[in-house]
């Protein structure tokens, strides 16, 4: 096959800050997917995109080419409107777990394709796999069957969905090009559009524990993804939310599942409950379901019923005990006062070092590892009171985790003014 373009010419165009033509974009994405463009060539192009950016037209075309590399799912046969949510990732961000059952209990269908954790941010599939028997890998036919029977599913994306993204994502991870907003936006949105839902709510985190730490950059990313989604015919909106402090009190895998179940049972931390309800309202609005209050689904047990059916439908036992760590170490307050700061990234890195996260996609994770928080900014503590409980299966990991926690938690005099980002910073529709 004679290729219509030379990869080096496409690289040079972007290196020299020229916009790529639609034909160049279609070709380079397809050629890379089938192996006609080498990894080192795509790495050079990704770096040029990181340094020189893309126009809106380029981003839209790049996303469309990624979608075209695979198949698109079709949920039009379902009797319910379909809506999904995507988070850019954070520390203690278990919101998908209670959110999907709540939205399903209120009448929408939620085909939630999720991923695994990498580095200090946790992954939804890793958390759910701590439930005995639960499986993340479903065929398209199995996914449709669960959606028809239960109304909601949380699983991994199949290999046929935007395969160009899977290949490019792995390359970006090892070439220092993960932070490119055009590549982040097209990566997320190519999978979500190919997923075939009619509505999508984006949770774009900002703060130390987030992928984008600068609220201005988070807004650019959110606006870019909303434009891509709406242009593709998927009603899309985004909320920019705080990730300066971990969400909830559990950071790990099994312990985050336990906290999510607590929320579904009508309890749990206030910030997890509030975030769940906020996103449920946005999703239901996009689905055209306006006469229900998602908070009621937590109060009346209907969301818990959906959760139990979802877990069983994917082979899990909702009544089975969750794994627990073999070792624990309590970090205590060194003085009386008030917690003034709890850095999300420091907590996330410590949890990762305890075994809850991975450095590479193929690394295993420990289901029981993680960190339980006993206080958060604004809480008064006494000298010697527990601040954090570190959980691991290997006590050799405590030292590295404590190094990551150095300076992550600060205690000041009672009355010290505390600055926290608001839970929802902005809304883009």
Q: Which residues are catalytic?
A: 86, 165, 172, 187, 191
Helix (H) or strand (E) holding 424: strand 424-428
Burial of 132 (0-12, 13-18, 19+ CB in 10 A): middle
423: helix, coil or strand? Answer: coil
Give 429's contacts (C-beta < 8 A, 6+ positions apart).
226, 237, 238
Closest CA to 98 of 221, 209, 227, 261: 261
Cα distances from 407 to residues 175, 352, 368, in angstroms, run 30, 17, 25
Size of the chain in residues: 429
**Which strand ranges, in their side-by-side order, compose the sheet holding 337-342?**
380-381, 337-342, 409-412
Sequence-distant (6+) residues with CB within 8 A of 53 are: 181, 182
Angle at 208 between CA 204 and CA 211, to 5 degrees: 40
Instruction: State how far the alpha carbon of 91 is from the alpha carbons of 94, 95, 253, 288, 382, in Å.
Output: 9, 11, 11, 31, 26
Pairing of strands 152-156, 110-114: parallel
Pairwise CA distance, residues 200 & 83, whole Å: 6
Please, what is the end-to-end C-alpha distance for the chain in angstroms? 44
Which tokens belong to 311?
């877990």
The single residue listed with the structure tokens 């075209």 is 68
């Amino acid at each position: 096959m004679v290729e219509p373009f030379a990869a080096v010419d496409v690289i040079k165009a972007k290196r020299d800050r020229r916009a790529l033509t639609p034909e160049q974009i279609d070709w380079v994405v397809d050629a890379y997917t089938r192996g006609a463009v080498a990894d080192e060539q795509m790495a050079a192009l990704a770096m040029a995109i990181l340094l020189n950016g893309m126009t809106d037209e380029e981003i839209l075309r790049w996303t469309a080419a990624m979608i075209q590399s695979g198949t698109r799912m079709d949920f039009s046969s379902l009797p319910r409107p379909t809506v999904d949510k995507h988070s850019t990732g954070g520390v203690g961000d278990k919101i998908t777990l209670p959110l999907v059952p709540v939205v399903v209990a209120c009448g929408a269908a939620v085909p939630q394709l999720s991923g695994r954790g990498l580095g200090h941010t946790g992954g939804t599939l890793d958390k759910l796999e701590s439930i005995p028997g639960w499986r993340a890998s479903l065929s398209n036919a199995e996914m449709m069957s669960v959606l028809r029977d239960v109304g909601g599913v949380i699983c991994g994306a199949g290999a046929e969905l935007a395969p160009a993204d899977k290949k490019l994502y792995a390359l970006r991870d090892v070439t220092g090009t993960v932070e490119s907003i055009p590549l982040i936006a097209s990566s997320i949105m190519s999978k979500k559009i190919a997923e075939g839902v009619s509505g999508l709510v984006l949770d774009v985190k900002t703060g130390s524990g987030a992928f984008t730490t600068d609220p201005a950059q988070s807004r650019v990313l959110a606006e870019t993804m909303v434009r891509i989604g709406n242009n593709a015919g998927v009603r899309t909106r985004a909320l920019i939310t705080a990730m300066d402090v971990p969400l909830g009190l559990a950071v790990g895998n099994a312990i985050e599942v336990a906290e999510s179940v607590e929320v579904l049972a009508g309890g749990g931390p206030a910030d997890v409950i509030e975030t769940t309800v906020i996103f449920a309202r946005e999703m239901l609005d996009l689905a055209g379901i306006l006469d229900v209050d998602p908070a009621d689904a937590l109060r009346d047990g209907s969301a818990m019923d959906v959760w139990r059916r979802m877990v069983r439908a994917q082979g899990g036992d909702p009544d089975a005990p969750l794994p627990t760590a073999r070792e624990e170490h309590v970090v205590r307050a060194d003085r009386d006062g008030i917690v003034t700061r709890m850095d999300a990234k420091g907590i996330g890195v410590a949890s990762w070092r305890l075994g809850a996260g991975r450095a590479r996609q193929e690394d295993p994770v420990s289901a029981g590892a993680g960190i339980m928080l006993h206080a958060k900014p604004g809480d008064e503590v006494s000298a010697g009171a527990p601040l954090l409980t570190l959980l691991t299966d290997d006590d050799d990991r405590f030292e590295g985790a404590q190094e990551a926690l150095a300076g992550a938690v600060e205690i000041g005099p009672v009355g010290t003014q505390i600055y926290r980002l608001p839970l929802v910073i902005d809304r883009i529709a």
